[in-house]
A and B are shown apart, each in its own frame.
Chain A
Amino acid sequence: MTVGESLLMHSPALVIAVPLLGAFLMPLFGRLHASVRNSFALFMLGLTGGLIGVLASDVFSHGPRVYVFGAQDLSIPVVRILFEVDSMSMFMALITVMLAIVAVIYSWSFLRSEDGLDKYYTLLLLVVTSALGMELTGDIFNFFVFLEISCIASCALIAFWVEEGEALEAAFKYIVVSSVGALFVLFVIGVFYAQYNALNIATLASVLQLTFLDKIALVVLIVVLGMKAGLAPMHMWMPDAYGRTPPSVTLVIMSATLASFYGVLRIVFTLYGNSLTTAIRFSLPLHVLVGWILIALAVVSILIGVIMALVQTDLLRLIGYTAVAEIGYMFLAVGTSIAALGAPYATVALHGGILHLLNDAFDIGLLFLVAGAILYVTKKRSLDEIGGLARTMKFTTVFFIVGLLAVAGMPPLNGFASKFLIYESVYQLNPILSIVAILCSILMLAIFVKVFYAVFLGPELPSLADVKEAPRGMVLAMGIFALLAVIIGLFPNIFIDTLVRPAAAALLDHAQYINMVVGGV
């Protein structure tokens, strides 16, 4: 076996091991020099990205991969952990590593004068590891372990500006909310283990009977992971946390948040995939009930997100609320695809939801980075104290325009492509839902036009006369996201054909996921 083949064979494990190793080595490299530490963080994430690229190429061309930690012979009854990597997992892993790489590039300039950066990079790599673990694992207990790592590391990162009382408060709220959620997940794991003597997702999916306890488990998993993803009305931790952390931290927490959204997809489509068509009450199949529940929560998220964003004066917090609305759009698409399972437009809705996941990561990420650049140069958070920055921050202004148009779903940027698919498919399920979604998008445009006017237009304020453009590292990080928003917007079909369609197919074809493990026993 060549080195390349060996690398490919063990790549699912290495994708987790490399950032984890980087996290533990970080204090050592931090002692050498700040630039060595920064380069090391980027190198480890670049290496992880390379491994994900190799693995993704293999998975997209040859189908899902199973990687076994422990006894290779699945018929031997010993403890083992399985990673099951399909196109959806790889799609998520690509987003996670992309967000992390941009976060590190941005951190170089944004956090240059801060203390404790060794610990910061360690925690950042731990969050990346946990998000990747949640996306790659095929074991529900292992998913819980990575969820816990994500909670603890994210909490510490949210409290990065510990001298600010609000950051500490946001971190405390986050850890309480996350821990409560994680405990409920542990309860569900107990329920599954007690009933089926198994923790592997594929094995559980193959034997799931949809008992009363299974229904309870489904509810708990949807609510907990929905809360972690920022679904209203359990979203309140999100603006608190996003509003008080450095934007580079927000990017990696976003990756953990999106991993929770992925968790909902995996639970509904894969774990409960066989039971979705089972009629549970009033001749209504499970997928109709679950789909409409997700749609209801999604509409609440979209409405609350835009309504609250409109009255915010803290820019980071405002974007935090729009992130809630964007999560709502994703759940609206996924809810539609579940409620209308089997209909042609259900697949279109799923494509729209998955593409929107990618777009949300880049667009909301870009807006957070722009908000961070404004905070960095002005040292002000309130929109009321800022104005006329377009004169001095030309690059940042252009990036903000790209971000605002993309998030508001304006053509020809990426947000429009995914929202177009969502509107069209949701309209076929219920036109009113589509109209609400479009109106909220218009409201979102109005919100960011307000921000654009307040921050970038108007006369030059004497208190901001010395303001200059953001440092090059931050401009580069914003530029990467802006470029991606434009490229995806101009060539959406390429991204759909190469990334989104295989990911959606992997979710819909739960039998293949199950057979990869159960078929081998």
Chain B
Amino acid sequence: MRSTSTWSWGVFSIFSLESGSGFWNPLLWLCVALIAFLLFYGLRGFGRSTYKKGTMQTKAFLSGNPEAAPEDMHVKASNLYWGFTTSMKSLYTVVRAMHTGNLSDYILWFVLVLAVLFLIIGVM
């Protein structure tokens, strides 16, 4: 890691990771995160606490409908990002078709990559 920056703030610079074109300092990042946390915590203190546990406030309001059972309310993992996977259907069709689970296909991919690289490096 070439040291090109002029950055040196005593103890902070000890923890600085330089890439030659930039730097990363976790300690500095933590300090900024702490200041941000204190700022937001302070702002939160200006709010009014009207929350009462065990009252109607804590009950979910579902437009007057009865609350469903926990299993029914929990969004299943396979339903998450449904929009993303549906919009990428054509891509998933191709990528899933690659993953046949058939051992012969695994070897076929190996041979295919081998053949392409032979052409590029060996024969070209």
Cα separation A451 to B95 with both chains bound (whole Å): 21
A459 is contacted by which of B15, B26, B70, B77 (Cβ under 8 Å)?
A: B70
**Which residues of chain B are near A428, meaning CB under 8 Å?**
21
The answer to whether B1 touches A496 (Cβ under 8 A) is yes
**How many whole Å from B14's CB to the nearest CB in chain A?**
8
Tell me the chain B residues, 48-91 only, with Cβ under 8 Å from chain A. 69-71, 73-78, 80-81, 84-85, 88, 91
**Residue in chain B with minimal CB distance to A427:** B21
Main secondary structure of the interface of A (DSSP, over half): helix
Instruction: Check: A491 CB closer than 8 A to any chain B CB.
Output: yes
Cα separation A290 to B19 with both chains bound (whole Å): 24
The answer to whether A384 touches B76 (Cβ under 8 A) is yes
Main secondary structure of the interface of B (DSSP, over half): helix
Cα separation A234 to B96 with both chains bound (whole Å): 14
The answer to whether B106 touches A234 (Cβ under 8 A) is yes
Cα separation A496 to B26 with both chains bound (whole Å): 14
The answer to whether B121 touches A384 (Cβ under 8 A) is no
Cα separation A157 to B6 with both chains bound (whole Å): 53
What's the A-B contact tally at a CB cutoff of 8 Å?
166
The answer to whether A420 touches B103 (Cβ under 8 A) is no
**Residue in chain A with minimal CB distance to B106:** A236
Cα separation A270 to B75 with both chains bound (whole Å): 52
**Known contacts A180-B107, A425-B19, A450-B80; is-contact A215 B122 (Cβ 8 Å):** yes
**How many residues from B make CB contacts under 8 Å with A?**
52
Instruction: Check: A304 CB closer than 8 A to any chain B CB.
Output: yes
Instruction: Check: A313 CB closer than 8 A to any chain B CB.
Output: yes
**Which residues of chain A are near B105, meaning CB under 8 Å?**
236
The answer to whether B81 touches A310 (Cβ under 8 A) is yes
**Known contacts A307-B92, A311-B92, A383-B77; is-contact A223 B17 (Cβ 8 Å):** no
**Which residues of chain B are near A490, meaning CB under 8 Å?**
15, 26-27, 30
Tell me the chain A residues, 393-440 only, with Cβ under 8 Å from chain B. 411-412, 416-417, 420-421, 424-425, 428
B77 is contacted by which of A227, A420, A454, A491 (Cβ under 8 Å)?
A: A454
Cα separation A310 to B22 with both chains bound (whole Å): 32
Contact with A along B6-40 (1 / 0, CB 8 A): 00000000111101111010110110010000000
The answer to whether A233 touches B113 (Cβ under 8 A) is yes
Cα separation A344 to B22 with both chains bound (whole Å): 13
The answer to whether A453 touches B109 (Cβ under 8 A) is no
Could you list 17 examples of A-B contacts with CB < 8 Å?
A233-B113, A240-B101, A310-B84, A310-B85, A311-B85, A351-B1, A382-B77, A383-B77, A411-B26, A412-B33, A417-B24, A421-B19, A453-B77, A458-B70, A492-B17, A492-B26, A496-B17
Other A-B contacts than A344-B2, A453-B77, A493-B14, 11 sampled, CB-CB below 8 A, are A177-B103, A181-B110, A184-B114, A223-B117, A236-B101, A308-B95, A313-B77, A462-B69, A489-B26, A490-B26, A493-B16
Nearest 8 CB-CB pairings of A with B: A383-B77, A459-B70, A454-B77, A412-B26, A424-B19, A458-B74, A384-B76, A219-B117
